[in-house]
A = this chain, B = another copy of it.
Amino acid sequence: MKEIKEQVEACRKACEHHLSKELLPFWLDRCKDEKNGGYITHFDKDGNDTGEDEKSMLGQARIVYIFSSAYRNGHGGEQSKEFASHGVDFLLDKMWDKEHDGFYWLTDRAGNALINEKIIYGHSFAIYSLSEYTLATGDKRGIEYAEKCFDLLQKHCADTHFGGYFEMFDRNWKLKGPGAAGGDRKTLDVHMHLMEAYTTLYECTGKEVHRRKLLETIELLIDKVLHPKYRTGVPQFFADWSVAPQIKFDIVWGWDRFSDDGSKGNAEDNTSYGHNVEFAWLLMHALDILKIPISEYGDIIQKQYDHALADGIDWEYGGVYVEGSHAGGVYDKEKEFWQNAEMLIALTQACEVLDMEKYWPVYMNVHKFVFDKQINHEVGEWWPLLTRQGEPIWTHMSHNWKINYHSVRSMIETLNRLRTIEEKV
């Protein structure tokens, strides 16, 4: 096993170097907004502040998560703790709606609300980040507001008819209208990230109600959200959990590609390899926190890996394709940052708990692509989107919807797993 041990060691060192010498310095050097509080989140291809005058609660919360997780895992030292606390100040002082509760969706840099609506995707990250912040630092403000968000979701968003959560609300928690407003839709994205959020919330509080709602969310995802046959993720549903053709919402949190008219090819048969393996490792992490054996969901987890590996890996140029059909076949062969980031975690997780021999060569493929192509080493962050061959298409280093949640988390989580693997091989 000497050769593999050396490979693991080399990958581990590459991740350590990237995290400590490139990624964290990129953020520690430029994201703190000393004037207004919170974080600056828009950087061009050279890492220069683009000056865009907005802050999203999603972006701010995700960076709080990143500095909290970095501190908790021993990266960045006291500076990480200080940066996390700095972001919590802005979230609670500027982004919290003191009249109707919940977080505004978008403010300007100074913290004046630009979009005061309540978006559950963002609130799932508020719960995740503020719980991680308290776990990392002991500062109780985090969990206090994480629990407030949890309570708001149960009161205003849970659908007591069909189960799950509605996702798009006006400032006063009035459910939005149908269609692009999103009030009649439910998504894989929100429900998967609620699993992620409730896992860390429960890890922090140990409360029975947080455990129960986490279990309900897991069962809901498996029962309603995953494809009944392939167990891959189905992106969008109507309120009654019948599959809805994928549409673009008025308020977005990423760059899923739609045509100019908001329509999408293969809108009813589309699944993301990166999202599916992210689901798999987040589920395994939730089970770990719940102290439930992974084997109880072994079949589902295996199917998600099998589907992603059968179609999602580019064995010619390396890395992970964007998306394809549930039944098989790739629709989009470009390479986006976050699917590659999540695949690294998912593959080291699989090496650790499923099958080293099977998954290690796949990890090596994606690792090489990420370190050769996806990372802009000169500047420190990841290119957002590459051609299949690895040429940059989009070139910004950060935006509200990119920031450092996937890149830094990938390095922290992958490193933890590489260290465990290195001990074992």
Please report A residues at the B interface, Cβ cutoff 8 Å: 151, 154-156, 158-165, 172-175, 208-209, 212-213, 216-217, 219-220, 223
Determine the distance from Cα of A267 to Cα of B208 in the docked complex, in whole angstroms: 33
Determine the distance from Cα of A212 to Cα of B163 in the docked complex, in whole angstroms: 14
Contacting pair B158 A154 (CB below 8 A): yes
Question: CB-CB < 8 A to A175: which residues of B?
Answer: 212
Q: Which chain B residue lies CB-closest to A209?
A: B156
Chain copies in the assembly?
Answer: 2
Determine the distance from Cα of A223 to Cα of B160 in the docked complex, in whole angstroms: 12
18 residue pairs bridging A and B, Cβ less than 8 Å apart? A154-B154, A154-B155, A154-B158, A155-B155, A155-B209, A156-B209, A160-B164, A160-B165, A160-B216, A161-B163, A161-B216, A161-B219, A162-B163, A172-B208, A173-B208, A173-B209, A174-B208, A175-B212
Q: Which chain B residue lies CB-closest to A155?
A: B154
Minimum CB–CB distance from A272 to chain B (whole Å) comes to: 24
Contacting pair B156 A223 (CB below 8 A): no
Question: CB-CB < 8 A to A223: which residues of B?
Answer: 161
Question: CB-CB < 8 A to A173: which residues of B?
Answer: 208-209
Minimum CB–CB distance from A227 to chain B (whole Å) comes to: 18
Determine the distance from Cα of A212 to Cα of B173 in the docked complex, in whole angstroms: 11
Q: Which of A165, A212, A220 has the most CB of B within 10 A?
A: A212
Question: CB-CB < 8 A to A161: which residues of B?
Answer: 163, 216-217, 219-220, 223
Determine the distance from Cα of A219 to Cα of B161 in the docked complex, in whole angstroms: 7
Q: Are A158 and B158 also in contact (CB < 8 A) when A172-B208, A209-B173 are?
A: yes
Determine the distance from Cα of A162 to Cα of B162 in the docked complex, in whole angstroms: 6
- Apart from A155-B155, A160-B163, what 9 extra A-B contacts exist at CB < 8 Å? A151-B151, A154-B154, A158-B158, A160-B165, A160-B213, A161-B216, A161-B220, A163-B163, A175-B212
Determine the distance from Cα of A217 to Cα of B175 in the docked complex, in whole angstroms: 16
Question: CB-CB < 8 A to A164: which residues of B?
Answer: 160
Determine the distance from Cα of A172 to Cα of B211 in the docked complex, in whole angstroms: 14
